[in-house]
Amino acid sequence: MKLLALDTAANLCSAALLDMESSTLLSEVSHDIGKGHAEQLMAVLDETLRGSGHSISDIAKIAVSVGPGSFTGVRVGVSTARGLALALKCPVVGVSTLEALAWDARQEAPGRAVLSIIDARRDELYSQFFSEAGEPLSAPAVNALPAIMEKLQVMGPVVLSGSGAALVNAQLGQALEIASHRATGSAEAFARLGASRTAAGVPSPLYLRGLDVKPQQGFVLKRQEDAQ
């Protein structure tokens, strides 16, 4: 049984194929494209399948990144995963970018608690604490840096993983170990976590905050009688 993992939540467009019976990673492809995931994802999927020697019909389960991350990127990945699962008649599960970053950190620093921390811009960060075994110690959240620093003092020593790690260390007198500076986890992390997860309906995006869209101000169409 083969599991396909997809991640388009940040700057990377990634996919991986995992043999769930032998727990062997068969293929992994990741391109740093910034934007344009909708145009690139199917090509990355095709490259992943060709690299593994398998076809799309061999996929028995799909895992997808649900964010937090780019609103458009997350939507592209989740929509694609849902569509593929419907066509292939297979289950689909969601994995958060914060969970994947913590998984990657445990490979670099086993036996250590992890703070997954992603720069969310606008002076905010996405964050979540995980135990040495990978269990969540807090809910995924978006906060300003002072609130995270306060929580960090309570939680104790951790390994940092994510694009917000440098921002945290800049506030500390003694820097913490950084496992990753990425804004999302590896494709393998999404695959490994997805393999152990049971599908419960279809996954939904984990946005944590609203769209960066505001109503346009100072622009009103004239009524037809006023324009005559």
Query: Rg of the chain over CA atoms, in angstroms?
Result: 20
State the Cα–Cα distance between residues 104 and 13, nearest whole angstrom.
17
Q: What are phi and psi of 82, to 5 degrees?
A: -60, -45
Q: What is the pLDDT along the chain (228 residues), one digit of tens a residue?
A: 999 999 999 999 999 999 999 999 999 999 999 999 999 999 999 999 999 999 999 999 999 999 999 999 999 999 999 999 999 999 999 999 999 999 999 999 999 999 999 999 989 999 999 999 999 999 999 999 999 999 998 988 899 999 999 999 999 877 899 999 999 999 999 999 999 999 988 999 999 986 554 444 444 444 444 444
Structural domains in the chain plus CATH codes: 2-96+184-195 (3.30.420.40), 98-180 (3.30.420.40)
Q: How far is CA 140 from the centre of its chain?
A: 12
Give the global pTM: 0.90
Residue 218 tokens, joined: 């100072």
Residue 76 tokens, joined: 């592209």
